[in-house]
Amino acid sequence: MQFDLTDDQRGLYDAAFRYAEAELHPLFARMDDEDWFPPDLIARLGADGYCGLTAPPDLGGAGMDLVSAGLVGEAFGYWNTNAAFVWGPHENLCLNNILRNGTPEQIARFAPDLIAGRKIGALGLTEPGAGSDALGSMALRAVRDGGDYVLTGRKMFISNGPVADLVLTYAKTAPDLGPKGISAFVVETGTPGFSVAQTLTKMGWRGCPTGELVFEGVRVPAANLLGAENQGVGIVMSGLDIERAFLGTPYLGAAQRCLDLSLDYAATRKQFGRPIGSFQMIQSHLAEMSTALEAARVYTYQALAACDALRRGEGGRGRVHQLCAGAVLNGAAMIAKVTDLAVQIHGGSGFVWETEVNRHYRNARIASLGGGTTEVRKLIVAEELFRARGLRLG
C-alpha cells in the first residue's frame, strides 16, 4: 500500500506545528516539572479551532478524517507531548465516541461544549480490578430506576478524570451476561454522588490529570445512555481501535523531536576533538532512530486510514482491529527505542530530569501500557491472523 499526504494535509500539519510551537511548547517544562495542568488548555484549544476536528462543521467542528486529525496530534506531540495527552482523551476518547455512537439529540446536547472547549471530556473504562480484562472484570454497576440509571462503583487510571465535566462511562447493566452486559453512559461530573478519590502522581504524562473516580449512587438519565442497553462492547472495541492508532500520533511527534534534538547535539557536542556525530556508533544510533520512526509513521497512518475507510463502509473490522493493535504495538517499541537512544546520545545531560529528551524518555514508558498492554496487543494481532485464514485453535 502506498501512502502519502495531500497538499491540504501537509498545510494542516504545518499550521498545527507552528501553533504548537507558539502556544504549547512554552507550557511543556512547567507541566512536567510541577505536574501542572493548565486550567485553560482545552478552552484555548477549542477557541483556536483545535477541538472537534472530526466533528461536522454544522456543530462547529472541522469535519476532518482521522488521518488529518492524527497529523495535528503528531504536531502537538512534537512540541508538548503532555498537552497532547490532555487533548487526545478529550478529542478522541470522549468527543469522537459521542459523535460516532450518539443519537442526534445526544450529539446536539454534548458535542458543542466539547468542541468549543467549554467542557472537558474523558473516558472511563479501566477499574481498580479491571485492566487488561476491562470487560470481563468490570464491577461498576448501572441499575435502571424509573427514568434513570443508578451507577455504583469506581474507575481507575482515567485520563482527564479529575478535571472532566463529561465522562463517557462503561458499566454493567446485565452482570450475568458478562462482557455482553455492558452499556455506555455520558456522565456529567456535577451529578451528586460523583467524586474524585485521588489524582495520581506519575513518572510521565505529568500535568495530564489522571485519577480514580467514584460513583456512589450517581443517577444518570436514561437519555444519557449511549447506544442500546447491553450493547456497549461494540462501542468499547471500535473506540479502542481508533484510540490505539490516534493516540500513537503524539509519540510520532515526540520521536521526531528526540531525533532532531539528537542530531543537533551530535553535530555540536565535541569529544576527542571531533563532533560526536562523526563517530560511527553515534551515526548508527541516529540511523536506527530514523528508520524506526519512519516505519512507525507509515504503520500508524495506515491504521488511521483503515479506520476512515471502515467508517465509509470499506474494508473489514477484523483487519482494522489487527492494524490498530499492530500500530500501537510497533509504535510503543519505537518510542521506547528512540527515547532511549536519544538519552544515550545526550549522555549525562540526558539523565538529568529537566532536559527535554529526559521528559520524553519518561513519557514513553506508558506507551506499552495504555490502551491495552503490549501483551494484549500481541494477542489481538495473532488472533486476527488465525481468524483471517479461517484457522481455529480449539
- DSSP label at 135? T
The three cell numbers locating residue 198: 485521588
Distances 236 to 168, 231, 233 between C-alpha atoms, Å: 10, 9, 5
Residues paired with 155 in a beta bridge: 213
- Point out the catalytic residue in the list 91, 212, 243, 356: 243
The three cell numbers locating residue 324: 490498530
How many C-beta neighbours within 10 Å does residue 141 have?
15
SS3 state of residue 390: coil
Give the integer Cα–Cα distance in Å for 190 and 99.
22
Residues paired with 196 in a beta bridge: 213
Contact 50, 17 (CB under 8 A): no
Confirm whether 375 is a catalytic residue. Answer: no
SS3 state of residue 199: strand
The three cell numbers locating residue 162: 479529575
Give the active site residues. 243
